[in-house]
Structures are given as C-alpha cells and as structure tokens.
Structure 1
C-alpha cells in the first residue's frame, strides 16, 4: 500500500490504507451498515465512522473526511473498552436485524457504484 491512499474494494466490501500516523501498519475497514461506509463526492472520499486503531501500538484515532485526515484526541483504556463493547453490540444487533428481504444500505451503495 502507498501512504495517503485509501483503497476501496466493492467486491470484497472493504477499504484499506496505511495508518495515518505514519507507523506503516495496514488498516482494514470492513464496509457494512454496522461497521464503516464510504462516500465519494466526485472528487474526495470520506470514511465513516472514525478509525480507532486500538489494536495497533500507536492507538491512533482519526476521521477521513473529504480526502483529509481529522485527528481525534487519545482515548483512555476504559474508553477504548467502552467503544469495543458498543461496536460488538451494534454488530450483533445488525446481524439479527438484517435478512434477505431487507436491503441494506451497502447493497444500495453497490447498485449506485455499478450504475
């Protein structure tokens, strides 16, 4: 991967980039309604929500908005734990709520990109 590039794979429903702090670690963000989504406005890309690299030694935390990195403050170990718990709950809720009869936001996004 190259520094400063956000790689997007619609086929694999994922984005990847090198950590924005410069540590060189690869960061992978799965695309799904309960995880990350990306938008492209014709010129720049945004990724939501923020990227909290809690498992990396740097523990960096930032947003990618309109092609720019917006840094967040450093989180305490307790805050990191709370965020991980919340993310697990959201993933569990999403897995139980989605079914074949309910199109997800991601499937709609796929149709947009294929058009």
Structure 2
C-alpha cells in the first residue's frame, strides 16, 4: 500500500512501505488517528504471520491517553501515559525524525525490507 485510505477501519493497521509509516485508529475506540513512522531508532514493524509494532504507542496528546503495544496482532494494554512521558516521547520522536535514513522510492518493497533487515545486523 502506498497511501493510507482517508477513512480508516477500527482494528486495522495500515502500512505504507514506500513512506515507511504505519497508521491505525487508537485501540481504545476513541477514533484518534495514530501515526507511527517506521525507522531505525523509531518504531519497528515485524511480521512473521502476525504483526508486532515496537516500541509502545502512547496517545498522550489524545483525550484517552491510551498506552499499548501491538504484539502478534493483539493489543497489550499498558498504564495510561502521563504528560511528562508524552513530552519526553515527543522530544525523542523529533530527535529520531531528524536522523531517519530513507530508502529511495524507486526501490521495490522487498529490497527495502531486505535493506532494513541487513542494517540491523
């Protein structure tokens, strides 16, 4: 998938390999659009028959303040995320965002996955 649909379905994780981004509606049901850019130092996505997304997702800027992991296609709930944790996470995300290594868009999705795996080793 290159682009994420305008209308998202609850319980679905949308992944754009070209833009190295995963998007979903908050797992609590509040319908907050949750975007996780995939990168070294940021979120990572693994798929071995089931999807796992790391690190945790903290919706500290949303009213629900949900905090959870996506682990093997299941939601694992964590304690609500506080204001201090949210500020720290935003600062960390901005830091990682300035150092993200991107793969050229002309590269096929399999080549990008292979390159990501090789970078980890």
TM-score interval, normalised by the smaller of the two chains: 0.7 to 0.9
Q: Superposition pairs for residues 66-105 of structure 1, below 5 Å?
A: 66-92=72-98, 94=99
- What is the CA RMSD across the aligned residues, in angstroms? 2.7
Higher RCO (C-alpha under 8 Å, 6+ residues apart): 1
Alignment map for 1:1-115 (pairs within 5 Å): 1-41=8-48, 43-92=49-98, 94=99, 110-111=113-114
Following superposition, the deviation at residue 31 of structure 1 comes to: 1.0
Structure number with higher helix proportion: 1
Give unmatched runs, 5+ long, in structure 2: 1-7, 104-109, 117-121
Residues 44 and 77 from structure 1, CA distance in 2 versus in 1: closer, same or farther, beyond 3 angstroms?
Answer: same
Give distance in 1, aligned partners of 2:54 and 2:87.
20
For 1:90 and 1:12, locate their aligned partners in 2 and report how far apart those are by CA, in whole Å.
Answer: 16
Q: After TM superposition, which residue ranges in structure 1, 4 or more long, deviate above 6 angstroms?
A: none
Could you list the runs of 5+ residues in structure 1 that have no partner in the other structure? 101-106
SS at match of 2:23: strand
